[in-house]
């Protein structure tokens, strides 16, 4: 009986997460100036933070206590980048949903791809965040967040493609 109740609760939480991924968090004011709500993500800095080779280099050249301290700081910074990417994906998801109703088939198709990629990015971000927290608790454990980086780059490219057909001032530059 307890097992089935736990299973139902987990199922409801998963359903809520999927709904949240699909809907995104965006205020009604978002459509007035979406670029003002986007947060910049430095992809190269993020790649450096999650690079296993960089982690190995630091492990070899720093005393263990110093390595753990630095690694925790690096993972906290990676968490910040992932949070920004997830927030940006929610905003872009709303923009893509608005652009899907365009009468131009190329714009509607680009918007549909943007929506799909934004949902995928949010899913990868929500998977990576707990892993990074585990890495903060146990600095010897390397959490891979490469899917978030690749997905964010795909979303950014899709925003540029969509922006050529459905211009929203400042969005491409804000990413």
The average pLDDT across 57-61 equals 93
Q: Name every residue whose Cβ is closer than 8 Å to that of residue 76 and which is 6 or more positions away in sequence.
A: 136
Rg (CA), the chain: 19
- Tell me the pLDDT band of 33, cut-offs 50, 70 and 90: low
Does 25 reside within a domain? Answer: no
Neighbours of 99 (CB within 10 A): 21
Does 12 reside within a domain? Answer: no
29 has a pLDDT exceeding 80: no
pLDDT digits (tens, 9 = 90+) for 96-152: 888 888 888 888 888 899 999 999 999 999 888 888 888 888 876 766 667 888 888
Listing DSSP states for 44-111 in one string gives HHHHHHH-HHHHHHHHHHS-HHHHHHHHHHHHHHHHHHHHHHHHHHHHHHHHHHHHTT-SSHHHHHHH
Does 165 reside within a domain? Answer: yes
d(CA 152, CA 132): 17
Within 13 Å of residue 97, how many CA atoms lie on the same side as its CB?
14
d(CA 123, CA 117): 10
The boundaries of the domain holding residue 170 are 34-174
155 has a pLDDT exceeding 60: yes
Buried b (16+ CB within 10 A) or exposed e, 113-128: bbbebbbbbbbbbeeb
Does 166 reside within a domain? Answer: yes
Does 56 reside within a domain? Answer: yes
Does 42 reside within a domain? Answer: yes
Number of structural domains the chain divides into: 1
The pTM of this model reads: 0.73
- Mean of the per-residue pLDDT values for the chain? 80
11 has a pLDDT exceeding 70: no
Does 49 reside within a domain? Answer: yes
Q: If you ran DSSP here, which 8-state letter would residue 171 be given?
A: H
Which is nearest to 114 in space by CA: 155, 168, 152?
Answer: 155
Q: Name every residue whose Cβ is closer than 8 Å to that of residue 53 and which is 6 or more positions away in sequence.
A: none
41 has a pLDDT exceeding 80: yes
Does 84 reside within a domain? Answer: yes
């Amino acid at each position: 009986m307890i097992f089935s109740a736990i299973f139902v609760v987990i199922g409801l939480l998963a359903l809520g997460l999927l709904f949240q991924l699909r809907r995104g968090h965006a205020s009604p004011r978002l459509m007035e100036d979406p670029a003002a709500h986007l947060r910049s993500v430095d992809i190269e800095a993020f790649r450096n933070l999650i690079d296993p080779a960089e982690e190995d280099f630091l492990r070899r050249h720093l005393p263990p206590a110093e390595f753990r301290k630095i690694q925790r700081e690096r993972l906290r910074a990676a968490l910040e980048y992932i949070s920004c990417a997830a927030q940006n994906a929610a905003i872009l998801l709303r923009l893509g949903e608005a652009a899907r109703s365009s009468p131009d088939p190329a714009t509607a198709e680009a918007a549909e791809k943007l929506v799909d990629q934004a949902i995928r990015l949010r899913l990868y971000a929500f998977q990576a965040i707990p892993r990074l927290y585990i890495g903060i608790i146990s600095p010897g454990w390397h959490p891979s967040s490469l899917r978030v980086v690749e997905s964010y780059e795909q979303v950014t490219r899709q925003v540029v493609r969509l922006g050529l057909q459905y211009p929203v001032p400042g969005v491409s530059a804000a990413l």
